Structure 1
């Protein structure tokens, strides 16, 4: 329930955000900052999973929060980029279009109806592709390992002795 509420709040913030500005160097720095914050979120979640009384549930919640947050960061960037000077994409992007494009890149479906046209849009799309692989491979593995350690810790009990 908490994860669904968090995702709903993230979506509400995304759709309420004024993303009708241009993608600027400041936006690029904000993207790097957001990705760094996501990395810190993963570290914080790993610690919370290991210490949790329900490590399996906590790991699922962490992944279910991280993925939408990651996708919304890129959707916001695509929306800003599409509203900048020139034609970064094959068509103008609304909030829904940008989120749709982000999801097609994440799922590697790539229907081809929305295509990055500018070098910057293509570069950002490649950054998302690499990030997708990192989340699906490395981050998922780290969260599963944290869950395993949390389960082992719980089985030992709080004093370190087997129950």
Structure 2
């Protein structure tokens, strides 16, 4: 089981990145795309809550915690990268240069990591609003979500320790 829990985030990440590059995204940021972004953010929340439940019931809560953080962050980053790409298609000039899918992913990662190289900047009001939402939700994801994950992992580890009981005095084993 530990191998599955360790490999699953890599496979999930590869699948999400492949979907990001393979899904058709050429219509621009329409009303449907805006609804998709909101539903995607709700999906990130649902994924996160599902992971919390999985951590609490897992025999390997620490590995599950790593999986939860890695898959949730990847989904979040790719969601905003797709939104930036679609926005650039719908409103050319929203950024100081045209954003391909790779440029959008790069920009999303620089915003998420707070590196902010300044080589790509949001110019339109809609782009600035979307970047502001990403920054706010990204801070929540890193701050609050990381703390919730740590608490879930610690609680699961504590429960596992309590469930196994004290070591047997004769054998020294639980």
Q: TM-score, normalised by structure 2?
A: 0.88
Aligned to 1:25: 31
Q: Secondary structure at the match of 1:117?
A: coil
1:34 aligns with 2:31: no
Question: Any gaps of 5 or more consecutive residues in structure 2?
Answer: 1-6, 167-173
> Distance in 1 between the 2:88 and 2:161 partners?
52
- Match in the other structure for 1:58: 64
**Separation (CA, whole Å) in 2 of partners of 1:153 and 1:58:** 15
> Is the partner of 1:114 in helix, strand or coil?
coil
**Residue 7 (structure 1) aligned with residue 13 (structure 2):** yes
1:73 equivalent to 2:73? Answer no
Task: Indicate the residue corresponding to 1:108 in structure 2.
Answer: 114
Q: Distance in 2 between matches of 1:56 and 1:150?
A: 9
Cα distance between partner residues in 2 of 1:20 and 1:118: 20
Unaligned runs of 5+ in 1: none
Tell me, yes or no, if structure 1 residue 87 matches structure 2 residue 62.
no
Alpha-carbon shift at residue 86 of structure 1 (Å): 3.7
Q: Distance in 2 between matches of 1:157 and 1:139?
A: 27
How far apart are 1:85 and its partner, in Å? 3.2
Q: Which has the higher contact order (CA 8 A, sep 6+)?
A: 1
Structure whose alpha-carbon radius of gyration is higher? 2
Once the two structures are overlaid, the 10-residue window that deviates more, 50-59 or 22-31, is 22-31
* Count of residue pairs brought into register by the alignment: 161
RMSD: 1.3
The answer (yes or no) to whether the contact 2:96–2:123 under 8 Å persists in 1 is: yes
Contact 2:85–2:101 (8 Å) recurs in 1: yes
Partner of 2:152: 146
Q: Counterpart in 2 of 1:44?
A: 50
